[in-house]
């Protein structure tokens, strides 16, 4: 089994990633950065997770934003 040493997403669930992005940016900014309805129209973690788990391109955008974001809170 290969180690995931250089993978910044290793050990992170989609829910953790989304919660950290919402805490850092807030829903309005997150919706502006990634233009999908579940972030702009009555956003919630539950509805966003449901959409992201079914939609690979949207999940990739969320993961890419997470990797590119510096969490210096």
Question: pLDDT, tens digit, for every residue of 20-70?
Answer: 999 999 999 999 999 999 999 999 999 999 999 999 999 999 999 999 997
Would you say residue 71 has pLDDT above 80? no
Domains recognised in the chain with CATH numbers? 14-50 (1.10.720.30)
pTM: 0.85
Tell me how far apart the alpha carbons of residues 61 and 42 are, in angstroms, rounded to a whole number.
20
In this prediction, residue 25 carries a pLDDT of: 96
Taking alpha carbons only, the member of 5, 8, 6, 11 closest to residue 69 is 8
């Amino acid at each position: 089994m290969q180690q995931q040493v250089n993978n910044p997403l290793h050990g992170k669930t989609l829910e953790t990633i989304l919660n950290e992005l919402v805490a850092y940016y807030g829903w309005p900014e997150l919706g502006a950065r990634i233009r999908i309805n579940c972030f702009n129209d009555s956003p919630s973690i539950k509805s966003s997770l449901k959409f992201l788990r079914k939609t690979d391109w949207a999940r990739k955008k969320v993961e890419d934003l997470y990797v590119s974001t510096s969490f210096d809170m």
